[in-house]
Structure formats: structure tokens, C-alpha cells
Amino acid sequence: MNPLLSRLQPYPFERLRELFAGVTPNPAFRPISLGIGEPKHPTPEFIKQALNAAMYDATTDLAAYPPTAGTPRLRQAFSGWLQRRYGLDIDPATQVLPVNGSREALFAFGQTVIDPARDRPVVVCPNPFYQIYEGAALLGGAQPYYAPSDPARNFAVDWDGVPQSVWARTQLLFVCSPGNPTGAVMPLAEWKKLFELSDRHGFVIASDECYSEIYFRDEPPLGGLEAAAKLGRGDFRNLVSFTSLSKRSNVPGLRSGFVAGDARLMKQFLLYRTYHGSAMSPIVQAASMVAWGDEAHVVENRAMYRAKFAEVTPLLAPVLDVSLPDAGFYLWAGVGESDTAFARDLLAQYNVTVLPGSYLARESAGFNPGAARIRMALVAETAECVEAAQRIVQFVKNRSKQEFP
Ligand SMILES: Cc1ncc(COP(=O)(O)O)c(C=O)c1O
């Protein structure tokens, strides 16, 4: 067996199952889960119809293996979207690749980039973070370094706190903007800093942008490639962005996304993916093309999240340390006490599931930046999220009465 497998951490939901073992949720309430970050808005009909139509289209050849690089038309759909969304000129022949969701791509990219034979390789990632980054680092033979996000600066990651000796050994940096779970969007100045560090130390930046289309400010979130272009780095050297249809178009079950950026990295990633056997089905390719080509459903989806967050956030703000994030579909709230005790008692008393923040972060330099926080995924319909928020308000009020009778 590969001994590195034993270094993988249990997934947050496994830990949640353990935490909730033996808890009987109050049967007076129907269960509401704000735990899993999985879109629940309906998949647009036109995407399902495109899947259906592609099955019987004369140009769909299920008797042939699809190319790992995707068809030229699919690649043009990616570069067309990048042009419309970010104003970027991307070469569809060399600077984009289809992936079966960004999760597998983020993981596989680590295996492509990391050279475990070099001196004690490091992968830097934000803290809290999406757990796949850690798995990619560990199975790539690298040591993860967790850079904490700072609640006092809208959860910006403290890149300045990473020691130079760590940057010197860094081969890969994961960034997540908009962030899961914080919702923070990285501004241009932060990108500039990271590009300078990448130039100095030669590491690759993997920019996870799967929440880019769900935002609450007027300005759409700045993309990594967009930041590079603005800073005169039109070759996107050492930079790859990861984009997905899962949240944008409510199709996590389709498993469809793409990566774009540095042509040199794309070439090596394509080589890796050919061996890995991760080509996209022609049916999924056809549905993906129509999904990337349509923005009306994305505008509608965003409006649904905006309306929901506008109702739920003010309900919770008087009892929790929480405010409207820049983007994403999570509230990342301070609870002022143990996050695990809060989550367990909330389930027991009000049958609402939230994720303890400490499960999404690691202890580093003596503290866990997820401790005393919870993540709430506002993915269910508004009425259900509002009801959950009302129960949480009641729960917190009762709890403080118990503490200060
Ligand atoms: C930060 C982040 N990146 C990537 C993913 C993976 O999404 P997908 O594989 O559906 O594109 C998720 C899913 O929850 C996520 O939260």
C-alpha cells in the first residue's frame, strides 16, 4: 500500500458523523441541513435537454474514446466564456483543458506539479481551506503549510506570515477566491504579491475559482488570470485557474469544469491526464458547451442567492458574528464558544445541521482559525434557510440565558 494514504485526514463529514453519533435530534422539528456545500437550486432544463439531445445526435460517437483535450468546439466554449467574463484572449489550442469537475483536477494537478525528489517540498494553502488541497499535497509527497485567514481583514489570508524559508521550498500554492468557507475575494494587490513570490521562488499557483459566479457585491470577483493580464502577465506564467459548472449552473452531478492558464503547465497536465484516463464524455461535453454559452440562468441563480442571503444574514447578525460575504454560498460565523459543542447541541435541540469550523481548518502555530466558527451553506430554498436561521436565533438566545440566568 502507498504509505502516504495513511497521512490523509478524515473528511469533515466523517468527523461530523462521529460528532453526531448518539445525538437524538429533537423530533418536534423537521431536519434542516446547512452542512453540505452542494447546490440545491434546480438544474436548468436546457442543460438536461442538451444532455438528452447529445445522446442521439449523429455527431456523438459513443463507440469511440473521447480525446482527453476535449473537442476544439468545447475548448472554444471555454475561451469564449473567459473572453466574455474577464476580457481575456486565451488560445483554445494550448491554454485550456476540460476537467471532470474542479475537484479531481485540483487533486491531479498536485500530482503533475510536485517534484517529491526536491528538498522537502511544500504546498502552501489557506487555512481554513477545501480539503482536497491537503490531499493533493500529501499524496504528491509534499508537506502542506497552512496560512491562516484573518477575520480582522475580511478573512484575507496572511501570506506575509509565511516564513521565507517556507516559500523557498514551496512548489505549489493553492488559492481559493472566492474562498470556501470565508467567501473572501482576493484583490489585485494580493495577486501582485503572490505573483512576485512565485517569480522569486519558482512555484506554481493553482487558483480555485469555482464560486466566481455567486457574488453579493456589484463588481464580479476578480479572476486569477484576469489579475495576471492586468499586471502585464499575459503569458500566465506559473498560473492555472480552475473553473466549474457545478455551482454556476447547479450541475454538480454533471462533473464538468475546465482549467486555463500557462500553456507549458497545460501541456504537462494534458500528458498526466492522458495516463490518468480522465477524458470527458462526449455527452457531457455537449451539455457543457451550451451551459458555458448561456448567462441568463447564471444571472437568475445569482439573484436567488442574493435574495436568500439578504433575508438570512440580518436574522443571524444580532446573535452571531456574521456579515454578508463577498461571494460564495456560505456564511462563516463566529459563535463565541466551542464550534463542535455548538453544532452538536443545535442538532439535538433544533434539528439543524451546521459544520464546525475547526473541521475545515488545521491547527497551525498553536491555533485553529476555524475554531469557534461554523459554516452554514445556504443552498436550500429561502424558506428553509430562513426557518433554520430562526431556530439558530432561538437556540443562541436560550443558550445565553442558561449561561447568564
Ligand atoms: C473550494 C472548492 N473547490 C472545488 C470544489 C469542487 O467542485 P467541483 O468538483 O464540483 O467542480 C468545491 C466543491 O464543493 C469547493 O468548495
- From the alpha carbon of 257, which atom of ligand 1 is closest? 11
Per-residue pLDDT for 289 more than 90? yes
**Across all residues in the chain, what is the average pLDDT?**
96
| pLDDT recorded at residue 304 | 96
Checking if the pLDDT of 202 tops 60, the result is yes
The pLDDT, as a whole number, for residue 84 is: 98
Ligand 1 atom nearest to 130, measured from its CA: 1
Residue 403 has pLDDT above 90, yes or no: no
pLDDT tens-digit profile of 213-261? 999 999 999 999 999 999 999 999 999 999 999 999 999 999 999 999 9
Mind listing the pLDDT tens digit for each residue in 72-131?
999 999 999 999 999 999 999 999 999 999 999 999 999 999 999 999 999 999 999 999
What one-character-per-residue DSSP string does 267-330 give?
A: HHHHHHHHHHT-PPPHHHHHHHHHHHH--HHHHHHHHHHHHHHHHHHHHHTTTSB----SBSSE
| Strand partners for 259 | 97, 242
For 83-93, the pLDDT digits (tens) are 999 999 999 99
- 154 conformational bin, left if phi > 0, alpha if psi -120 to 50, beta if neither: left
The burial of 133, by beta-carbon neighbours within 10 Å (0-12 exposed, 13-18 middle, 19 or more buried), is given as: buried
CA of 179 to the centre of ligand 1 (A): 11
Lining ligand 1 with CB less than 6 A are 37, 101-103, 130, 176, 180, 208, 210, 244, 246, 252, 257
- Segment 149-165 shows an average pLDDT of 95
DSSP code, position 240: E
Ligand 1 centroid – CA 102 distance (Å):
6
User: For residue 100, which atom of ligand 1 is closest to its CA?
Assistant: 9
- Please say whether the beta carbons of 246 and 216 come within 8 A: no
Res. 404 pLDDT band, cuts 50 70 90: low
Residue 401 has pLDDT above 90, yes or no: no
Looking up cell 492586468 gives: 230
pLDDT digits (tens, 9 = 90+) for 373-396: 999 999 999 999 999 999 999 999
| Strand order through the sheet with 355-356 | 330-334, 373-377, 355-356
Report how far Cα 152 is from the mean position of its chain's Cα atoms. Answer: 22
Residue 402 pLDDT greater than 80, yes or no: no
Q: What confidence tens digit (pLDDT) does each residue in 39-53 have?
A: 999 999 999 999 999
* pLDDT number for residue 370: 97
C-alpha of residue 239 to centroid of ligand 1, in Å: 18
Strand order in the sheet with 96-99: 96-99, 257-261, 239-244, 204-208, 170-176, 122-127, 143-150, 156-157
- In this predicted structure, the answer to whether residue 346 has a pLDDT above a threshold of 80 is yes
- In order of 24, 224, 328, the CA distances from 220 in angstroms are 43, 13, 12
Residue type, 172: L
Mean pLDDT, residues 266-285: 97
- For residue 279, give the nearest of 56, 46, 62, 93 by alpha carbon: 62
CA–centroid distance, residue 134 to ligand 1 (Å): 14
CA 266 to chain centre: 21
Closest approach atom of ligand 1 to CA 252: 10
Q: What pLDDT sits at residue 405?
A: 55
Give the pLDDT of residue 400.
Answer: 82
Beta bridge partners, 208, equal 176, 242
